[in-house]
Amino acid sequence: MPSRDKATVMEAISRDCIVPVFHHTDFEVVKKVASCIAAGGLSTLEFTNRGDGAVEAFGDLIRWSRSELPGLIVGAGSVIDPATAGHLIDLGACFVVAPALSAEVAQTCNARNVPYVPGCGTLTEILTAYRLGVDIVKLFPASQIGGPSFLKSVRAPCPWVRAMPTGGVEPTVESLSAWYKAGAPAVGMGSRLIPQDLIDSEDWDGIEARIAEGVVAAAAARRMA
């Protein structure tokens, strides 16, 4: 079962302004990166459901983080069907993220009072998601669907829209401030925040430093928004 309620999760996402997105098949690497995320100043992690053994690895991460990183809020990403969503919530997913919108997954998450963040690329998809009861949508792939100007245009007639762009966002003041000014309460970042070369070289200090730099950049960008 999730260790945090929906309000707590949404507050953490809005407070941090960055949700790191990560996956690895080696659980020792997963533990190191999760520790870097927490030490770097972030409190959420979207662990993506990719490849063989991903669900089992997610369960291991939940059990480990609850004892070793109790302040970390772990969610599941790349969830496209309700059965998987339900299983991951049973394992402890505090939020569920998807590359596309699914009414069935929304229903599963709503029934368990777990935030569902579906990927949307058009205003129609965004409004459909809100009608299904979501709290925040994921703009994906953010850089390909128009960037910050797309979100700004969407929020002109629909100012209640809360969207988390993912895909192409950089951990820099320039990139983050553009999205925050457009109305994004947070952004999702994967390899641009946690570079593969630093993982391959096991440069955990470098990963922690990069995450900490991203936190500083987000705070500065927020002040500019």
Q: Catalytic pick from 6, 56, 68, 138?
A: 138
Q: Catalytic pick from 28, 31, 46, 202?
A: 46
DSSP state of 40: H
Task: Indicate the helix (H) or strand (E) that contains 42.
Answer: none
Q: What does the block give as tokens for 17?
A: 């302004």
DSSP state of 24: -
CA dihedral (31, 60, 194, 39) in degrees, to 10, reads -50
Measured distance CA(83)–CA(96) in Å, rounded: 12
Q: Does residue 46 have an active-site annotation?
A: yes
Q: Tell me how crowded residue 174 is: count the other CB atoms within 10 A of its CB.
A: 10
Helices (H), the chain: 6-16, 27-40, 54-68, 82-91, 103-111, 123-131, 147-155, 173-182, 196-200, 204-224
Strand partners, 49: none
Question: For residue 49, with 0-12 CB atoms within 10 Å meaning exposed, 13-18 middle and 19 or more buried, which class applies?
Answer: buried
Q: Does residue 68 have an active-site annotation?
A: no
Indicate which residues carry an active-site annotation. Answer: 46, 138
